[in-house]
Amino acid sequence: MKIVKEAVAGTLESSDVMVRIAPLGGSEIDLQLNSSVEKQFGDAIRETVMDTLAKLGVTGVQLIIDDKGALDCILRARLQTVLLRASDSKELPWGALK
């Protein structure tokens, strides 16, 4: 999946997460995480993010994540949404996300 433009998904409200994405030159994944539960779940959140990106073959992006304690499933959903919005594809490759 190729990321071609900037996009945002989610909200800043409690139990949700706002994900902003921008394409970066190269193959670097620049992940900035600000979370209200960083100390407890920071590593778990990063793992979910990297896992989702890997499954969809996304590299060369900057991701800024403002998390207000979203559940893992919410985080995945927001990530998938932002990736779809920022890519040139019309549909998520659902099979890859299993």
Please tell me the distance from the alpha carbon of residue 86 to that of residue 98, in angstroms, as a whole number.
Answer: 21
CA 45 to chain centre: 10
Please report whether residue 31 would count as binding another protein according to CB under 8 A.
no
* Core vs surface per residue 59-83: b (16+ CB within 10 A) or e: eebbbebbbbebeeeebbbbbbbbb
Please report whether residue 18 would count as binding another protein according to CB under 8 A.
yes
Interaction with another protein in 43-82: which residues (CB under 8 A)? 64, 66, 68
Shortest separation between residue 58's beta carbon and another protein, angstroms: 18
- 10 and 17 in contact (C-beta within 8 Å)? yes
Please report whether residue 37 would count as binding another protein according to CB under 8 A.
no
- Nearer of residues 35 and 52 to another protein, judged by Cβ: 35
Question: Which spans of this chain sit near another protein (rule: CB under 8 A)?
Answer: 6-8, 11-14, 18, 20, 22, 32, 34, 36, 64, 66, 68
